[in-house]
Amino acid sequence: MQSSNELIEIKDKLWNGSINVRILMGDDNIKDPKEFLITVYRNSYFPIYFPSVITYFQKYNEKIKYMPVWLEYETVPIKWNLPIGVLYDLLHLSSIVQNREDSSWTLTLRFSDDYPTDQVIPFTYTDVDNSVNYNKSLKEVVVNQLKQSCFVINGNSKPIMNLSEKDSDELWNSIRIHNLKSFNQINKKIIPIQKKFQKLPVKIYIPGSATIIHAPIYPYSDSGEAVLLRDILEEYLPDLMSSNNETLGSIYIHGINVETIINKDIIDVWELFKHLDNFLYIIVLFSTYSTI
C-alpha cells in the first residue's frame, strides 16, 4: 500500500496526464488541409478546447464560429461528453499497441448544418453574437454526470444538489481551468467520508464493441470482504480470464496497463483512478495484440 504522499503524487500525475493532438480542418473548399497542434489533458473534455481551436481555424473560414463543430477519428464522430483520455484509449490505444501509429492523435474538425445528432450530443446554446456557447453545454452534461455518480455513491443526489451556488460554481471552474486543489476541496463534499459508499460508479469499455458495461459496484461482498478489481472483471467479462486464472487481454485505466493491481480492492482502485466525474473508466483490449 502506498503512503499518503505517494498517493498524492500519483493522483497529481493522473490529473495532469496529457495527450498531443493534431487537428485537421475538414473543409472541402480548402485545398491544403490546415492543422492545429495542441496538448490536452486526459482528464478533461474537448469542448473546453474548442474556442482555441475555432479561433485558429476561423481565419480560413469565418462560418466555423457560428456553426457547432465536432471531431472525427477515422470518419467516426467523437462523443465529446466522455473524458479525452477515455476517448483516446477507446479509439486509438489499440493502434499504438499494434505499433501501427505513434502516440499522438490526429483528428478532423467538422462543421456543417448536418450535425451528427444521432451519434454526438448537440450544442444548443449560443452567445449574444450568435457564436456557439460550448462551455454551457459541457457544464450541463458534466454536472449531470456528477449527479449520476453522486447517486450511485451515496444512494441519492443530495450531496451535490445541496452544494451552495458558490461551491457549484467553484466545482465547475476547477474542471474548466483544471485546478486539482480547488476540485478536491469541493468534490470531497460529494464523496462520503470513511469510505461509507453505497456503490461505486464504474464503466467498462471494449474497443471495437458497442457494448458499454455501466456497473454500479458494491465495494464489499455480503460477507463483508472487499471486492477486488479481478472480481469485477470476472463477473462482467468472464471471457477475459483463462482457466489457469490468467488474463486474456489487457486492462487499461488512464492509459495505464493495470494488470499488476488486478488483485487490489476495487474501492482503492476507484479512489485512485476515478475521473473528474467520479466514474472509474476501464478499457479492456481482448485481442492478442494487447498482451503488453
CATH number for the domain spanning 175: value is 1.10.246.190
Work out the angle at residue 269's Cα, subtended by the Cα atoms of residues 264 and 275, and round it to the nearest 5 degrees.
Answer: 165
Per residue in 30-67, pLDDT (tens digit) is: 667 789 999 999 999 999 999 999 999 998 888 899 99
Q: Which of 68, 86, 120 is the last residue of a domain?
A: 120
Indicate the pLDDT class of residue 98, thresholds 50, 70 and 90: low
- Give me the chain's average pLDDT, please: 90
pLDDT at 215: 86
Using the predicted structure, report yes or no on whether residue 13 has a pLDDT greater than 90: yes
- 252 domain-assigned: yes
Please name the amino acid found at residue 236: Y
pLDDT at 291: 40
pLDDT at 238: 84
Average confidence (pLDDT) over 110-123: 93
pLDDT at 7: 82
pLDDT at 290: 45
pLDDT at 172: 97
Indicate the pLDDT class of residue 29, thresholds 50, 70 and 90: low
Look at the chain and report how many structural domains it folds into.
3
Residue with cell string 446554446: 125
Q: Which of 175, 193, 211 is the last residue of a domain?
A: 193
Do 167 and 103 reside in the same domain of the chain? no
Using the predicted structure, report yes or no on whether residue 203 has a pLDDT greater than 70: yes
Do 180 and 105 reside in the same domain of the chain? no
> Which residues are within 8 A (CB) of 57 and not within 5 positions of it... i.e. 6 or more apart?
25, 34, 36, 64, 109
Indicate the pLDDT class of residue 100, thresholds 50, 70 and 90: low
pLDDT at 3: 62
pLDDT at 211: 82
Using the predicted structure, report yes or no on whether residue 175 has a pLDDT greater than 80: yes
- 258 domain-assigned: yes
- 129 domain-assigned: no
Please name the amino acid found at residue 234: E
Do 63 and 169 reside in the same domain of the chain? no
Using the predicted structure, report yes or no on whether residue 5 has a pLDDT greater than 80: no
Domain containing 62 equals 4-120
- 209 domain-assigned: yes
Using the predicted structure, report yes or no on whether residue 101 has a pLDDT greater than 80: no
Per residue in 211-257, pLDDT (tens digit) is: 889 989 999 998 989 999 999 999 998 887 665 566 678 899 999 99
Which of 91-95, 107-111, 262-266 comes out lowest in average pLDDT?
A: 91-95
Do 26 and 103 reside in the same domain of the chain? yes
Q: How far apart are CA 133 and CA 143, in angstroms?
A: 16
Count the Cβ atoms, other than its own, within 10 Å of residue 17.
16
Count the Cβ atoms, other than its own, within 10 Å of residue 68.
23
Indicate the pLDDT class of residue 289, thresholds 50, 70 and 90: very low
